[in-house]
Amino acid sequence: MVEHTQEFGQYEEVMIVSSDKDFLQLQKYNNVRQWSHILKKEIKDPHPKLNLIDKILSGDTGDGIPNVLSRDDTFVNGERQTPLSKKKKEAMMQDISEAVGLSAEWYRNYQRNQKLIDLTQTPQKLKNQIIDDFWITVFNQGKALPYLINNNMKQLIGSVEEFL
């Protein structure tokens, strides 16, 4: 999805239909919008680049990613994260390259989190596998039209042939 967002977002509007806030970072591209089917409204991030850096520093507990001050196995071992205060995080965000450069471990953890959180860092091999699996499971089995109908995606139903 990220690859297609980058490609198509340059030429036409892209609407991501998901309530997952991990996709908000893609709003850094022009013409990318997100619709929450749970909230039944568009969700927007006025500062997607800044909020991505914030999330990289803070980690994502929902996805098992600790903050940059904590070890890789923090959640696996049932430990608490090393606290990252708002003041410290704001100072780090002022000059991210200087902040993570203060400690080799912070730098390594920043890179770890960036690789796991920043959707543009997804390895190409994995992107290809995700796209292949998507096409095989949904569209090659003739499930496109029923999916669009069941999810009340009226505007897309008229364009279903574009998905096949």
pLDDT (average), residues 104-132: 92
- 3-state SS class at 3: helix
CA distance 14 to 130: 19
Alpha-carbon distance of 128 to 9, in angstroms, equals: 19
Q: What is the architecture, at CATH level 2, of domain 48-120?
A: Orthogonal Bundle (1.10)
Which of the four pLDDT bands, split at 50, 70 and 90, describes residue 127? confident
Q: What is the pLDDT of residue 60?
A: 96
Q: Domain residues of the chain, as ranges?
A: 1-46, 48-120
The three-point CA angle 48-15-159 to 5° equals 165
Q: 113 with 53: CB under 8 angstroms?
A: no
Distance, CA of 90 to CA of 138 (rounded, Å): 43
Give the distance from CA 98 to its chain's centroid.
Answer: 25
> What confidence tens digit (pLDDT) does each residue in 53-101 have?
999 999 999 999 999 999 999 999 999 999 999 999 998 888 887 877 7
Supply 29's token pair. Answer: 């591209």
